[in-house]
Amino acid sequence: MISEYASSISRDARALGINEGDVVLVHSSLRSLGDRNISPKDVIDGLRDCLGENGTLVFPTLSYEECGKNNTTFDYHKTASCVGAIPEYFRTSVDGVLRSLCPTHSCAAIGKDAEWITRDHFKDTTPCGPNSPFRRVMELGGKILFIGCGNNCNTSMHAIEELVEPDYLYGDSYEYDLIDKDGTVKKMNCRSHGFKGVTQCYYRAVPLLEGEEYKNGFILKAQCHLLDAKALWTKAEKKYREDNHYFIDFI
């Protein structure tokens, strides 16, 4: 039995366009839902209820504030996420959740495709490469949901940028020790994202989408955006190749 909050979240997510069996990557703000009594568990329970047994729920568990030049060790269990209360609860407190191995741009997932989405991230040499969950959500025909956080915090755009490699994208490379969930250590030489002298303008991707490729509405009191991942990748990559600087402003 799920809470009344979770039931309402499930209902609103379904009305927004999330269906049973979907693969959904979620960016989130707990505070935006409008009631301080709503817990991360309510949000996760509601989304899982909407997705059903055959769906897959994914959250970025980014740790770029923890790992980098001054800390080159990433721990599956101990390295905290820096992108909000819901992802941190999801990775630490929900039974069955799997986390990808990446020092700065890991994701956590649960559901039908969670193992495939998370298992090979450490094989890349960039934060959002071909084995990353961001790429795999797209390959599965998934959706990207933003709950109350706008649509500029779109980490999938980094993965699309990596296809094109604009001049502002990369910083230095570092050799990392990645401590897996069973304590084994894997090595990863990973380039950092730079973005020196620019501000990200990923909200400019939304007008490129048409019809069912983009939906907006509310989950409780949070304004939400729902993007079709394949359409985003196709249209944003095309725009990047036309103009490498379309999605940034120089500062």
> Consecutive 10-residue runs of the chain (251 residues): their mean pLDDT?
97 98 98 97 98 98 97 98 98 98 98 98 98 98 99 98 98 98 98 97 98 98 98 98 98 96
| CB contact set of 190 (below 8 Å; sequence gap of 6+) | 102, 103, 104, 124, 125, 126, 127, 173, 174, 176
Residue 182: the pLDDT is 98
Residue 48: the pLDDT is 98
Residue 28: the pLDDT is 98
Residue 51: the pLDDT is 98
Looking at residue 137, its amino acid is V
pTM: 0.98
The residue assigned the tokens 């060790």 is 73
Instruction: Please report, for the chain, the start and end positions of each structural domain, with discontinuous segments joined by +.
Output: 4-250
Nearest Cα to Cα of residue 104 among 85, 130, 84, 132: 132
Residue 41: the pLDDT is 98
Residue 76: the pLDDT is 98
